[in-house]
Chains A and B, each alone.
Chain A
Amino acid sequence: MAEAIVTLTDVEKSFGSNLVVQKMNLDIEAGEFLTLLGPSGCGKTTTLRMIAGFEDTSAGSIKVQGEPVEDKEPYQRDVNTVFQNYSLFPHMNVYDNVAYGLTIKKVPKDEIKTRVGKMLELVQLTGYEKRKPDALSGGQKQRVAIARALINNPKVLLLDEPLGALDLKLRKQMQLELKRLQKRLGITFVYVTHDQEEALTMSDRIAVMNGGVIDQLGSPKEIYDHPKTRFVASFIGESNIFDGTVQAVDGTLLTVETPAGLMQTRGEGFAVGEAMHISIRPEHLLAEKQPVPGFDLAGRVKDFTYLGTAVKTAIDLKDGTEAKFSRIEQDAECAEGDTVYVHWKPEKSVAIKKTAG
């Protein structure tokens, strides 16, 4: 494991009686792109603001390069932030905005000039020096905000939903640019977002947060393929999730009884009678005209949705739950109203332990 540049140890934050972040432990490695992902109110922005120094920790310690920073003010910390609403200084032009950090540090004027020039080149805004923030588009403002933070050579760059205000197309473009920038500069990025697709696209590692705790920390692939909790399975990508109890264990093959019917999955450490969850991605679902051994999931084809790259089929199961089923092409054999038998390869589904939460 690479050297940790930011370490959070048992960090807690409460606003009044409201515990927003609970006992958080997190090592952020030097040079990685780490995303804090979660729904609004999960504590991801609060965590970021504690690293930046805008919020005090209620308990625990935060270290940047091994040095405790809890008692340091934001202006004494070697981290910089890109804010959600850009927060460019409206009375300064692009040049002065980008130069701000260096001006404060009393860097010689000539050096500021060359460094600002290089930074604007990096974010492709050369020629915009004299513009006021009001005269920039959303994407341009975002680039200025990034340049303004990066010019200080921070050890860590904190980004608080920086692309939230941009339209979809621009957001996709900026995602790629940010990722390339991060690779090129080798600076640690800590990125906060509620957009799981964005997190999967950009991150080296994702920390999925829910209710003030990290549910799962891992690479995008780990998190997508092997969600550890029901929340992670439902939050990341599309998934069919069934709640049931283990009926039979045969090595790693589990037969599970659910309200929708009988199904199979693979997992270790489960006992007969144990309550658990099964998650299966829509693209791994299969449907047959005949019943399949090990499965008892009869359903009626409800409708088809054509998405260009895939066809989504909704199947009503017997307990009323809707199974999402995604295929490259629509096969001619099944039509709306047909009865089909749903199944999957057991190893394609994920067996999830039931947690207290």
Chain B
Amino acid sequence: MSGKTKAKRPGPGMRRRNLRRNTLPALAQAGPVSVWMIVFVTLPTLFIIYISFMSRGVFGDVVYEFSLESYQTLLDATYFKVILKSLRVAVFTTMACLVIGYPFAYYIARKPREQASRLIMLIMIPFWTNSLMRLNSWLLLFQTSGPVNNFLQWAGLTDSPITFIYTDGLVALGMVTNMLPFAVLPLYSTIEKLEKSLLEASSDLGASPAKTFMRITLPLTFPGIFSAIILTFIPALGIYTVSDILGGGKVLYIGNIIKNQFGQIRNWPLGAALSVLLLAITALLIFIYTRFAKLEDMEVV
């Protein structure tokens, strides 16, 4: 074995051998996971990035020639507008989920355990229902001759049916209801861990409930808030089923465009470039998140 001759030699050879001795078992332990990650995450991602730099053939095929055309298209005003609009909707969805989810999570967390798990189930049941079914039931509810319009007309609040379906408003409603569990669950788990005696201590020291919330509750549940933001914002930015079904093809977000580029329009490089943009935004958010987490750790020491 060559290892024997290397071992006699001092210096870099020795180091290399030690390195190999340590990394091999480590690799073996991480092996199955690494293989999984490489095959199903890294390679597809690299492929997407690769394709985004290729150009589109006449028949919608991918021509393997380097080109920046797709990225130039992204700077086009129409696409830029869609991207901005998608960001706006994602931000709105995230904010709405936080504003609705926080009080809700707080309410659940302050209930006895048994009641709390029942309330959590109430959130989870729609979450486990097929999302297409859920979205289509929104359509049924809000369609021109649907229960909501019928009720509004019966109550005399409107003379003619209101067009709810295929509007930005209904898409936003669908987004919020779709994402709410992702916000409530992490919020619930941090609020639940918050010790009641800390709130009592704050009150004891003269802080009104509002001050206690701002100075104790909010800072201590910040990790949950941040997880909720990440968990709602990222899917909200990329999801296309909601806008597809509730927007009826009239409401376009970045997710719909990516889907269309890979589907009907068959412009894979452009779809890939849009995906890379999404990836970049996500990565940036996660980077900020980990920096936050690290800062927290460092302050403790």
Contact = CB atoms under 8 A, between A and B. Distances in A.
Contacts of A80: 204-205
Interface string B196-216: 011011111111100100011
A85 B203 CA distance: 16
A148 B203 contact: no
Interface residues of A, number: 26
A171 interface: no
B200 A54 contact: yes
Contact of B220 (A79, A88, A91): A91
Given A132-B299, A135-B301, A87 B198 contact: yes
A148 B300 contact: no
Contacts of A81: 200-201, 204
Mostly, the B contact residues are helix
Interface in A265-304: none
A52 B204 CA distance: 7
A153 B216 CA distance: 22
A73 interface: yes
Q: Which of B203, B205, B219 has the most CB of A within 10 A?
A: B205
A89 interface: yes
Contacts of B114: none
B197 A87 contact: yes
Contacts of A54: 200, 203-204
A134 B300 contact: yes
Contacts of B203: 53-54, 73-75
A89 B200 contact: no
B195 interface: yes
A83 interface: yes
A70 to B, nearest CB: 16
Contact of A87 (B195, B206, B301): B195
A104 B207 contact: yes
A83 B206 CA distance: 15
A80 B201 CA distance: 9
Contacts of B219: 91
B220 A104 contact: no
B206 A104 contact: yes
Q: Which of A53, A87, A135, A152 has the most CB of B within 10 A?
A: A87
A85 B197 contact: yes
A148 B220 CA distance: 19
Interface in A75-119: 75, 79-81, 83, 85, 87-91, 100-101, 104-105
B101 to A, nearest CB: 22
B205 A100 contact: yes
A80 to B, nearest CB: 6
A223 B198 CA distance: 36
Given A75-B206, A91-B219, A101-B206, A83 B201 contact: yes
A74 B200 contact: yes
Nearest to A148: B205
Contacts of A91: 219-220
Contacts of B208: 75
B204 A90 contact: no
Nearest to B222: A91
Interface of A: 52-54, 73-75, 79-81, 83, 85, 87-91, 100-101, 104-105, 132, 134-135, 148-149, 152
The 5 closest A-B pairs by CB, nearest first: A101-B205, A87-B201, A87-B197, A74-B203, A75-B203
12 contacts: A75-B204, A79-B204, A89-B201, A89-B202, A89-B216, A89-B220, A101-B205, A104-B205, A104-B206, A105-B206, A134-B300, A148-B201
